[in-house]
Structure 1
Amino acid sequence: MTPTSLKPWLVFSVLLNVFLIGGVGGGLYHWMATAKPAEAVVNQHGLRQAMIKLPMERRKELRQLLRHNRADSQPLIMAGREARLGVIKQLEAPTLDREALVTELAKAREADAALRALVDATLAQFASNLPQDERQKLVEALYQRGQAKNRVLERLPTSS
Protein backbone atom coordinates (compact mmCIF):
# COMPACT_ATOMS: atom_id res chain seq x y z
CA MET A 1 0.00 0.00 0.00
CA THR A 2 1.15 3.46 -0.77
CA PRO A 3 1.14 6.36 1.73
CA THR A 4 -1.67 8.05 -0.18
CA SER A 5 -3.93 4.98 0.09
CA LEU A 6 -3.24 4.69 3.85
CA LYS A 7 -4.17 8.32 4.51
CA PRO A 8 -8.00 7.79 4.49
CA TRP A 9 -7.61 4.76 6.79
CA LEU A 10 -5.45 6.77 9.17
CA VAL A 11 -8.01 9.60 9.27
CA PHE A 12 -10.82 7.07 9.82
CA SER A 13 -8.86 5.37 12.62
CA VAL A 14 -8.13 8.68 14.36
CA LEU A 15 -11.80 9.74 14.15
CA LEU A 16 -12.97 6.36 15.44
CA ASN A 17 -10.55 6.52 18.39
CA VAL A 18 -11.61 10.08 19.24
CA PHE A 19 -15.27 8.98 19.11
CA LEU A 20 -14.65 5.94 21.33
CA ILE A 21 -12.55 7.87 23.85
CA GLY A 22 -15.22 10.60 23.98
CA GLY A 23 -17.98 8.02 24.52
CA VAL A 24 -16.11 6.26 27.29
CA GLY A 25 -15.14 9.56 28.91
CA GLY A 26 -18.72 10.91 28.68
CA GLY A 27 -20.14 7.70 30.12
CA LEU A 28 -17.62 7.75 32.96
CA TYR A 29 -18.41 11.40 33.69
CA HIS A 30 -22.14 10.70 33.70
CA TRP A 31 -21.68 7.68 35.95
CA MET A 32 -19.51 9.61 38.41
CA ALA A 33 -21.79 12.68 38.41
CA THR A 34 -24.97 10.72 39.10
CA ALA A 35 -23.55 8.01 41.38
CA LYS A 36 -25.41 7.76 44.67
CA PRO A 37 -24.08 6.29 47.89
CA ALA A 38 -24.85 2.61 48.39
CA GLU A 39 -27.24 3.38 51.24
CA ALA A 40 -29.35 5.65 49.01
CA VAL A 41 -29.56 3.19 46.12
CA VAL A 42 -31.35 0.53 48.12
CA ASN A 43 -34.71 1.57 49.48
CA GLN A 44 -34.12 0.52 53.05
CA HIS A 45 -36.70 0.74 55.79
CA GLY A 46 -37.18 -0.37 59.35
CA LEU A 47 -34.21 -1.73 61.25
CA ARG A 48 -31.98 -1.76 58.16
CA GLN A 49 -32.52 1.97 57.66
CA ALA A 50 -31.88 2.53 61.36
CA MET A 51 -28.60 0.63 61.14
CA ILE A 52 -27.44 2.83 58.27
CA LYS A 53 -28.05 6.00 60.26
CA LEU A 54 -26.30 4.78 63.41
CA PRO A 55 -22.54 4.91 64.04
CA MET A 56 -20.60 1.76 63.19
CA GLU A 57 -20.12 0.61 66.80
CA ARG A 58 -23.86 0.95 67.43
CA ARG A 59 -24.64 -1.00 64.26
CA LYS A 60 -22.46 -3.84 65.50
CA GLU A 61 -24.13 -3.74 68.90
CA LEU A 62 -27.63 -3.93 67.38
CA ARG A 63 -26.58 -6.74 65.03
CA GLN A 64 -25.20 -8.69 67.99
CA LEU A 65 -28.45 -8.30 69.91
CA LEU A 66 -30.49 -9.42 66.93
CA ARG A 67 -28.20 -12.39 66.32
CA HIS A 68 -28.45 -13.33 69.98
CA ASN A 69 -32.25 -13.43 69.66
CA ARG A 70 -32.14 -15.37 66.40
CA ALA A 71 -32.50 -18.71 68.20
CA ASP A 72 -35.64 -17.45 69.94
CA SER A 73 -37.09 -15.97 66.78
CA GLN A 74 -36.49 -18.95 64.48
CA PRO A 75 -39.48 -21.02 65.74
CA LEU A 76 -41.71 -17.96 65.36
CA ILE A 77 -40.49 -17.37 61.82
CA MET A 78 -41.13 -21.00 60.93
CA ALA A 79 -44.59 -20.97 62.52
CA GLY A 80 -45.53 -17.85 60.54
CA ARG A 81 -44.19 -19.36 57.33
CA GLU A 82 -46.10 -22.61 57.88
CA ALA A 83 -49.29 -20.70 58.65
CA ARG A 84 -48.94 -18.62 55.47
CA LEU A 85 -48.39 -21.82 53.48
CA GLY A 86 -51.58 -23.13 55.09
CA VAL A 87 -53.39 -19.97 53.98
CA ILE A 88 -52.13 -20.48 50.43
CA LYS A 89 -53.18 -24.12 50.53
CA GLN A 90 -56.68 -23.17 51.72
CA LEU A 91 -57.05 -20.47 49.06
CA GLU A 92 -55.89 -22.80 46.29
CA ALA A 93 -58.22 -25.64 47.36
CA PRO A 94 -61.09 -26.46 44.99
CA THR A 95 -63.57 -25.66 47.77
CA LEU A 96 -62.84 -23.00 50.34
CA ASP A 97 -62.99 -24.10 53.97
CA ARG A 98 -63.61 -20.73 55.58
CA GLU A 99 -63.02 -21.94 59.15
CA ALA A 100 -59.66 -23.52 58.25
CA LEU A 101 -58.67 -20.34 56.40
CA VAL A 102 -59.56 -18.17 59.40
CA THR A 103 -57.60 -20.52 61.66
CA GLU A 104 -54.49 -20.37 59.44
CA LEU A 105 -54.75 -16.58 59.21
CA ALA A 106 -54.97 -16.37 63.01
CA LYS A 107 -51.90 -18.61 63.38
CA ALA A 108 -49.93 -16.41 60.98
CA ARG A 109 -51.04 -13.25 62.78
CA GLU A 110 -50.10 -14.67 66.20
CA ALA A 111 -46.67 -15.81 64.99
CA ASP A 112 -46.02 -12.42 63.37
CA ALA A 113 -47.15 -10.57 66.51
CA ALA A 114 -44.93 -12.73 68.73
CA LEU A 115 -41.95 -12.14 66.43
CA ARG A 116 -42.64 -8.41 66.40
CA ALA A 117 -42.82 -8.40 70.21
CA LEU A 118 -39.44 -10.15 70.39
CA VAL A 119 -37.86 -7.67 67.98
CA ASP A 120 -39.45 -4.75 69.84
CA ALA A 121 -38.07 -6.02 73.15
CA THR A 122 -34.62 -6.28 71.58
CA LEU A 123 -34.96 -2.77 70.21
CA ALA A 124 -36.02 -1.47 73.62
CA GLN A 125 -32.99 -3.13 75.22
CA PHE A 126 -30.74 -1.57 72.58
CA ALA A 127 -32.32 1.89 72.88
CA SER A 128 -31.94 1.92 76.66
CA ASN A 129 -28.16 2.26 76.21
CA LEU A 130 -28.26 5.01 73.56
CA PRO A 131 -27.69 8.71 74.14
CA GLN A 132 -30.47 11.14 73.16
CA ASP A 133 -29.02 12.08 69.75
CA GLU A 134 -28.69 8.45 68.67
CA ARG A 135 -32.20 7.67 69.92
CA GLN A 136 -33.42 10.56 67.76
CA LYS A 137 -31.73 8.99 64.71
CA LEU A 138 -33.41 5.71 65.59
CA VAL A 139 -36.82 7.41 65.72
CA GLU A 140 -36.24 9.10 62.38
CA ALA A 141 -35.18 5.86 60.72
CA LEU A 142 -37.89 3.64 62.16
CA TYR A 143 -41.01 5.72 62.42
CA GLN A 144 -40.86 8.79 60.26
CA ARG A 145 -41.51 8.41 56.56
CA GLY A 146 -43.25 10.74 54.16
CA GLN A 147 -46.00 12.99 55.49
CA ALA A 148 -46.19 11.14 58.79
CA LYS A 149 -42.64 12.34 59.41
CA ASN A 150 -43.75 15.96 59.64
CA ARG A 151 -46.64 15.15 61.98
CA VAL A 152 -44.41 13.18 64.33
CA LEU A 153 -41.74 15.88 64.30
CA GLU A 154 -44.33 18.48 65.34
CA ARG A 155 -45.26 16.38 68.40
CA LEU A 156 -41.71 15.71 69.54
CA PRO A 157 -40.43 17.94 72.33
CA THR A 158 -37.45 20.02 71.32
CA SER A 159 -34.39 19.93 73.51
CA SER A 160 -33.08 23.43 74.20
Structure 2
Amino acid sequence: MTVRSLKPWLFVSVLLNVFLIGGVGGGLYHWLASSPPAEAVVNQHGLRQAMFKLPAERRRELRQLLRHNRDDSQPLIMAGREARLGVIKQLEAPTLDREALVAELAKAREADVALRALVDSTLAQFAGNLPQDERQKLVEALYLRGEARGKAPVRDKPLQTP
Protein backbone atom coordinates (compact mmCIF):
# COMPACT_ATOMS: atom_id res chain seq x y z
CA MET A 1 0.00 0.00 0.00
CA THR A 2 1.19 3.45 -0.81
CA VAL A 3 0.89 6.59 1.27
CA ARG A 4 -1.58 7.93 -1.24
CA SER A 5 -3.96 4.95 -0.77
CA LEU A 6 -3.73 5.19 3.04
CA LYS A 7 -4.73 8.90 3.22
CA PRO A 8 -8.46 8.32 2.65
CA TRP A 9 -8.53 5.51 5.23
CA LEU A 10 -6.67 7.67 7.73
CA PHE A 11 -9.11 10.52 7.11
CA VAL A 12 -12.13 8.20 7.60
CA SER A 13 -10.58 6.75 10.75
CA VAL A 14 -9.94 10.21 12.25
CA LEU A 15 -13.46 11.31 11.32
CA LEU A 16 -14.97 8.18 12.90
CA ASN A 17 -12.93 8.62 16.09
CA VAL A 18 -13.95 12.27 16.42
CA PHE A 19 -17.59 11.27 15.91
CA LEU A 20 -17.39 8.51 18.54
CA ILE A 21 -15.59 10.68 21.08
CA GLY A 22 -18.13 13.47 20.51
CA GLY A 23 -21.03 11.05 20.94
CA VAL A 24 -19.66 9.60 24.17
CA GLY A 25 -18.78 13.08 25.50
CA GLY A 26 -22.22 14.47 24.58
CA GLY A 27 -23.98 11.50 26.17
CA LEU A 28 -21.95 11.88 29.34
CA TYR A 29 -22.67 15.61 29.47
CA HIS A 30 -26.39 15.02 28.92
CA TRP A 31 -26.47 12.33 31.62
CA LEU A 32 -24.68 14.51 34.17
CA ALA A 33 -26.49 17.75 33.32
CA SER A 34 -30.01 16.33 33.40
CA SER A 35 -29.77 14.01 36.41
CA PRO A 36 -32.83 14.52 38.61
CA PRO A 37 -32.41 15.63 42.21
CA ALA A 38 -32.08 12.90 44.84
CA GLU A 39 -35.65 13.27 46.07
CA ALA A 40 -37.07 12.80 42.57
CA VAL A 41 -35.07 9.59 42.10
CA VAL A 42 -36.76 8.00 45.08
CA ASN A 43 -40.21 7.07 43.85
CA GLN A 44 -41.03 4.77 46.70
CA HIS A 45 -44.11 4.30 48.79
CA GLY A 46 -44.78 3.22 52.31
CA LEU A 47 -41.92 2.63 54.69
CA ARG A 48 -39.23 3.32 52.09
CA GLN A 49 -40.64 6.78 51.41
CA ALA A 50 -41.01 7.36 55.13
CA MET A 51 -37.38 6.40 55.66
CA PHE A 52 -36.32 8.86 52.98
CA LYS A 53 -38.18 11.73 54.63
CA LEU A 54 -36.77 11.08 58.10
CA PRO A 55 -33.39 12.35 59.30
CA ALA A 56 -30.46 9.97 58.83
CA GLU A 57 -30.28 9.08 62.52
CA ARG A 58 -33.97 8.12 62.61
CA ARG A 59 -33.60 6.15 59.37
CA ARG A 60 -30.90 4.06 61.01
CA GLU A 61 -33.13 3.43 64.04
CA LEU A 62 -36.03 2.28 61.89
CA ARG A 63 -33.78 0.06 59.77
CA GLN A 64 -32.37 -1.53 62.92
CA LEU A 65 -35.86 -2.23 64.27
CA LEU A 66 -36.96 -3.75 60.98
CA ARG A 67 -33.80 -5.86 60.77
CA HIS A 68 -34.36 -7.02 64.33
CA ASN A 69 -37.84 -8.25 63.34
CA ARG A 70 -36.61 -9.86 60.13
CA ASP A 71 -36.17 -13.26 61.80
CA ASP A 72 -39.77 -13.14 63.02
CA SER A 73 -41.09 -12.07 59.63
CA GLN A 74 -39.30 -14.67 57.47
CA PRO A 75 -41.66 -17.54 58.33
CA LEU A 76 -44.63 -15.28 57.56
CA ILE A 77 -43.12 -14.21 54.24
CA MET A 78 -42.42 -17.82 53.30
CA ALA A 79 -45.92 -18.93 54.32
CA GLY A 80 -47.47 -16.20 52.18
CA ARG A 81 -45.25 -17.10 49.23
CA GLU A 82 -46.07 -20.80 49.54
CA ALA A 83 -49.79 -20.03 49.77
CA ARG A 84 -49.62 -17.84 46.66
CA LEU A 85 -47.79 -20.63 44.84
CA GLY A 86 -50.60 -22.94 45.97
CA VAL A 87 -53.12 -20.49 44.53
CA ILE A 88 -51.25 -20.48 41.23
CA LYS A 89 -51.12 -24.27 41.22
CA GLN A 90 -54.87 -24.49 41.88
CA LEU A 91 -55.66 -21.98 39.13
CA GLU A 92 -53.43 -23.76 36.61
CA ALA A 93 -54.90 -27.20 37.39
CA PRO A 94 -57.00 -28.80 34.64
CA THR A 95 -60.00 -28.88 36.97
CA LEU A 96 -60.56 -26.19 39.57
CA ASP A 97 -60.93 -27.39 43.13
CA ARG A 98 -62.77 -24.39 44.56
CA GLU A 99 -62.42 -25.44 48.20
CA ALA A 100 -58.66 -25.91 47.89
CA LEU A 101 -58.37 -22.55 46.12
CA VAL A 102 -60.32 -20.79 48.87
CA ALA A 103 -58.15 -22.50 51.50
CA GLU A 104 -54.93 -21.37 49.77
CA LEU A 105 -56.26 -17.82 49.43
CA ALA A 106 -57.15 -17.82 53.13
CA LYS A 107 -53.62 -19.02 54.03
CA ALA A 108 -52.08 -16.25 51.94
CA ARG A 109 -54.37 -13.64 53.49
CA GLU A 110 -53.59 -14.83 57.04
CA ALA A 111 -49.84 -14.72 56.39
CA ASP A 112 -50.11 -11.23 54.88
CA VAL A 113 -52.20 -9.96 57.79
CA ALA A 114 -49.78 -11.42 60.34
CA LEU A 115 -46.82 -9.86 58.53
CA ARG A 116 -48.60 -6.51 58.36
CA ALA A 117 -49.37 -6.70 62.09
CA LEU A 118 -45.70 -7.35 62.84
CA VAL A 119 -44.57 -4.39 60.72
CA ASP A 120 -47.28 -2.19 62.23
CA SER A 121 -46.20 -3.03 65.77
CA THR A 122 -42.60 -2.24 64.84
CA LEU A 123 -43.72 1.06 63.35
CA ALA A 124 -45.74 1.87 66.48
CA GLN A 125 -42.72 1.11 68.65
CA PHE A 126 -40.58 3.39 66.47
CA ALA A 127 -43.15 6.20 66.36
CA GLY A 128 -43.41 6.19 70.15
CA ASN A 129 -39.91 7.70 70.34
CA LEU A 130 -40.40 10.38 67.66
CA PRO A 131 -41.10 14.07 68.24
CA GLN A 132 -44.27 15.57 66.75
CA ASP A 133 -42.65 17.01 63.59
CA GLU A 134 -41.03 13.70 62.66
CA ARG A 135 -44.29 11.84 63.32
CA GLN A 136 -45.97 14.29 60.93
CA LYS A 137 -43.39 13.43 58.24
CA LEU A 138 -44.11 9.77 58.88
CA VAL A 139 -47.85 10.34 58.43
CA GLU A 140 -47.29 12.25 55.18
CA ALA A 141 -45.05 9.55 53.77
CA LEU A 142 -47.23 6.62 54.78
CA TYR A 143 -50.80 7.81 54.50
CA LEU A 144 -51.16 11.09 52.61
CA ARG A 145 -49.76 10.16 49.21
CA GLY A 146 -52.41 11.20 46.70
CA GLU A 147 -54.70 13.10 49.01
CA ALA A 148 -54.52 16.80 49.69
CA ARG A 149 -52.21 17.38 52.63
CA GLY A 150 -54.15 18.26 55.77
CA LYS A 151 -57.54 17.94 54.09
CA ALA A 152 -60.13 15.21 53.98
CA PRO A 153 -59.89 12.99 50.90
CA VAL A 154 -62.07 13.99 47.97
CA ARG A 155 -64.86 11.50 47.45
CA ASP A 156 -66.44 10.73 44.10
CA LYS A 157 -69.72 12.50 43.65
CA PRO A 158 -72.70 10.49 42.39
CA LEU A 159 -73.71 11.22 38.82
CA GLN A 160 -76.51 13.75 38.57
CA THR A 161 -79.11 13.33 35.88
CA PRO A 162 -80.54 16.49 34.29
Please state which band the TM-score falls in when normalised by the shorter chain: 0.7 to 0.9
In structure 2, runs of 5+ residues without a counterpart are 153-162
Counterpart AA for 1:125: Q
2:132 is aligned with what amino acid? Q
Identity of aligned residues (%): 84
The structural deviation recorded for 1:26 is: 2.6
- Map of 1:1-160 to 2, 5 A cutoff? 19-37=19-37, 40-146=40-146, 148=147, 150=148, 152-155=149-152
**C-alpha distance in 2, partners of 1:105/1:57?**
40
CA distance in 2, matches of 1:85, 1:10: 62
Number of aligned positions between the proteins: 151
Tell me by how many angstroms 1:39 deviates. Answer: 5.1
Residue in structure 2 matched with residue 158 of structure 1 by the alignment: none
* Offset of residue 28 of structure 1: 2.6
Distance 1:8 1:86 in 2: 68
Structure 1, gaps ≥5 residues long: 156-160
CA RMSD of aligned residues (A): 2.5
Distance across 2 between alignment mates of 1:102 and 1:79: 16
> Once the 2 structures are TM-superposed, how far is the Cα of residue 16 of structure 1 from its aligned partner?
5.8
CA distance, structure 2, for counterparts of residue 12 and residue 81 of structure 1: 59
Q: TM-score, with normalisation over the residues of structure 2?
A: 0.78
Tell me the TM-score normalised to structure 1 length. 0.78
More helix by share: 1
Deviation of 1:129 after TM superposition, in Å, equals 0.7
